Amino acid sequence: MSSKDCGHHGKKREKLIRRICAGFLIFLFIVLVLVLLIWAILQPSKPRFILQDVTVYAFNTTVPNFLTSNFQVTISSRNPNDKIGVYYDRLDVYGVYHNQQITYRTRIPPTYQGHKDVNVWSPFVYGNLVPVAPFNSMALTQDQANGAVMIMFKADGRVRWKVGTFISGRYHFYVKCLAFINLGNKNSGIIVGENAVKYQIVQRCSVNV
């Protein structure tokens, strides 16, 4: 075979590869446009979270710069979408005081939330002798003396969206629920057992995806 024939076959191969690549890119573009169109038509909304109540089993700073706490929080989530389901692949709940995490993370079991469905979770979040920054320890002492404390309960995780048979990739999911707890007045809550008090909060949470 002459060098001329080799060059001719090489050009044919290059043209074929270019056509395959072009076809693949066009296919990806069409799929992307279709997904965006479906997404725009369905107009998906983020799930709506509400912090229903907080039961306080323990909350003390008897050891300087260390906090021991034990809460049970009731959080409800509603999927407002008519045609989109939500897979909660991972969701970790924990407590925060003045931007410092004060409890361990508690993982909620993976679950699927259908159209217009409501899910309710009541995880325990706790921490035993968790180190607290000195300025936060002082603030906690002051709050306890005043009889009230502001705790942020957060939920971080990964979600996927389901539209028909299509399931999206995983997205980071962030929920923030602010709770004003009147520790100084147990009559503002419901006595549970010997030392626990349940406080009704019913506070809407912020949600970011």
pLDDT tens per residue across span 125-157: 999 999 999 999 889 989 988 889 999 999 999
Kindly state the average pLDDT of the residues 54-78: 93
Average pLDDT over residues 166-192: 91
- What radius of gyration do the chain's Cα atoms show? 26
pLDDT(71) > 80: yes
Count CA atoms within 13 Å of residue 149 on its CB side. Answer: 26
pLDDT of residue 47: 96
User: Out of 16-25, 126-135, 142-151, 195-204, which region has the weakest mean confidence (pLDDT)?
Assistant: 16-25
CA 133 to chain centre: 26
Q: What is the pLDDT of residue 3?
A: 52
Per-residue confidence at 20, pLDDT binned at 50, 70, 90?
confident
pLDDT over 90 at 88, yes or no: yes
Tens digits of residue pLDDT in 32-51? 877 676 666 556 789 999 99
Confidence of residue 160 (pLDDT cuts 50, 70, 90): very high
Kindly report each contact of residues 161-170 with a partner whose C-beta sits within 8 Å and lies 24 or more positions away, as own/partner: 161/44, 161/84, 161/85, 161/86, 161/87, 162/84, 162/85, 162/86, 162/87, 162/112, 163/38, 163/39, 163/42, 163/83, 163/84, 163/85, 164/83, 166/35, 166/38, 167/87, 170/89
Mean pLDDT of the chain, nearest integer: 89
